[in-house]
Chain A
């Protein structure tokens, strides 16, 4: 759906989404990287478990909640990527032990 218009060059890093390595660029947000994926969804809702993707990209709508380095329900659009960061898509309601 989305693709990067320029080559990140020296800013290129690798992050992991659900365990798979994905190219990213320093300075962009987790949500931006997720939107470039073939499957752009980042979580399923706690109620109907329907998929959701990043939407407002400015911290307001809370659609882009993902697990980042083990911390759940992080707003992907407000979280800059870091080399080696591990992102996990959230499925349904979080369980307390997770």
Chain B
């Protein structure tokens, strides 16, 4: 059957949008990439996170807030549809602080964000060391830990199960998925779009480009210039341990299976997902400062993924002006924003226009002359 809409990119972002479109009775075809593609969706740390995000971009703060508010309902629905347990927990999250300076800096940063939001009571609090010890009775904190910020809305989920559930739920709603479906070219044909793949052509009246780092050359063909660069993040994971960390923290979380995930680094080596001993050492050192007993635990794996970074780090959501019906959706917080992508964004795309409150996410914000 000829699709109403083709979503290019089967990662967490594309799959969430495709699932949301299928729930809106659209006939959806999701095109997933090839095995060798850079797949941020399969390298993700798994936080569903609010605290600390959005400085200088109130719209992103609001977007993140809205998505997290949708996350529980989104989880319940997709779990019922697919019988896949997303392991979503939303009991709050921590960002550990080292030294008095680190503690005050964190308070300062979060207060700035709170003032930027300009409404409601703070949805976070600073916990001193003894309050933190009370919250984490099975953890002996390192001597430099002065406390943590506690974000009430923060949580975590299993990102791989989320991806599988999105694909499964899309199929249940009548959508289709094609794997190893690399789009070589997009040709506007009248008001439709013809997608040229390796050995065939597909036609649809509307398309969504959510192909992560592969998006710029595709978007350019429908009049959308999207500046992106890869940012490498490396993560470590330990053997399974008895539960000891009841809350996820920025860069340290214990999964439902008992493993401990430790993250994440940031650097810019280009399209390179190799891991480095330097990153493993740095992450280990940082973690042992917080929980010294982790020094005795075995690491079982280290991996790297590439974040999809725009110049300001915030998402791009836009519809092409020159080619209406062509949308682009790019971001690096695909897990946190999954509920928003499936519910709100997919609804807007199905309706044919992005709402005014998403206009701050148009890539035209980058079209300003750079100061010398």
Contacts and interface: CB of A to CB of B under 8 A. Distances in A.
A73 B291 CA distance: 19
A92 interface: yes
A85 interface: no
Contacts of B294: 96
Contacts of B240: 46-47, 93-94
A51 B328 CA distance: 52
A46 B293 contact: no
Nearest to B291: A96
Residue among A71, A72, A73, A92 with most chain B CB within 10 A:
A73
Interface in B249-277: 257-258
Identify the interface centre among A46, A71, A96: most chain B CB within 10 Å of its CB.
A96
Given A71-B296, A73-B298, A96 B242 contact: yes
Interface in B279-315: 291, 293-294, 296-298
B202 to A, nearest CB: 43
Interface in A64-98: 71-73, 92-97
Contacts of A47: 240, 257-258
B123 interface: no
A46 B260 CA distance: 14
A59 to B, nearest CB: 14
Given A71-B296, A72-B296, A73-B298, A94 B257 contact: no
A93 B241 CA distance: 5
B138 interface: yes
Q: Give 5 nearest A-B pairs by CB, closest first.
A: A46-B240, A93-B242, A95-B242, A96-B244, A73-B298
Interface of A: 46-47, 71-73, 92-97
Given A93-B242, A97-B293, 19 more contacts: A46-B240, A46-B258, A47-B240, A47-B258, A72-B296, A73-B239, A73-B297, A92-B242, A94-B240, A94-B241, A94-B242, A94-B297, A95-B241, A95-B242, A96-B241, A96-B244, A96-B293, A96-B294, A97-B138
